[in-house]
Amino acid sequence: MGTDFQVYTNHQNANGTWSGWYPLGGEAYAKIWINGTTFTNSHIDINTIGSDGGWWAREWSASDGWKNWRRVGNAPTTSITVGGYRGARIREYEPTYVTWPDGRQQVFVVGTDFQAYTIHQDANGTWSGWYPLGPNPGDVRSQVVVDGPTAASFIRIRVVGLYKDMFFRTWTPSGGWSNWAVWPGSTW
């Protein structure tokens, strides 16, 4: 991502030379995350949170080249309402996204207020809008790491706090989100 908030790429040609950096368009307000980083299937997806707070993706394939940016799953345009530059207001930590066994998608990010936030789809594919996963366990200083989801609809998220303690929360359909807790023996 450039200082102009556009996504750029540079690729190696068949003869071993490099193409040089060129823009892929769009405005990205979070790190880019990539699916399919190898070319064994001649396909790659890049994802980001756009200037409108929505989840955006762009796909490349050997047969078609780069396709246009598309909004993923009709993600809402609501932004995370914490300080920062323009729309999405996300820290430099990479977003984490997961797909539940039933196909629903969920994204986790860290806002500029150092809280963890998420957005998720319901069973009908409707997006929730961004919401904080507070109360804050202490300033989040890492990417949100996700364990799960499992077929039993269990998910656990982990973050590193300001003083390098690891915190976690779990979500179950019967109990919702647990409180934040310190991971035993986690001080780094």
- Read off the pLDDT of residues 133-150 as tens digits, 9 standing for 90 and up: 876 666 777 778 888 777
Closest by Cα among 66, 63, 57 to 28: 57
Domains of the chain: 8-182 (2.40.128.190)
- Residue 171 CA, distance from chain mean position: 18
- Residue 141 has, within 13 A of its CA and on its CB side, a CA count of 10
53 pLDDT higher than 70? no
Question: pTM above 0.75?
Answer: no
**In the predicted model, what is the mean pLDDT of residues 158-166?**
79
186 pLDDT higher than 80? no
Closest by Cα among 129, 177, 168, 170 to 148: 170
- Read off the pLDDT of residues 79-103 as tens digits, 9 standing for 90 and up: 454 334 344 455 566 778 788 888 7
Q: What is the pLDDT of residue 170?
A: 87
**In the predicted model, what is the mean pLDDT of residues 12-31?**
80
For residue 137, say if its preceding peptide bond is cis, omega within 30 degrees of 0.
Answer: no
Q: What is the pLDDT of residue 17?
A: 92
What is the rounded distance in angstroms from the CA atom of residue 168 to the CA atom of residue 171? 10
**In the predicted model, what is the mean pLDDT of residues 18-42?**
69
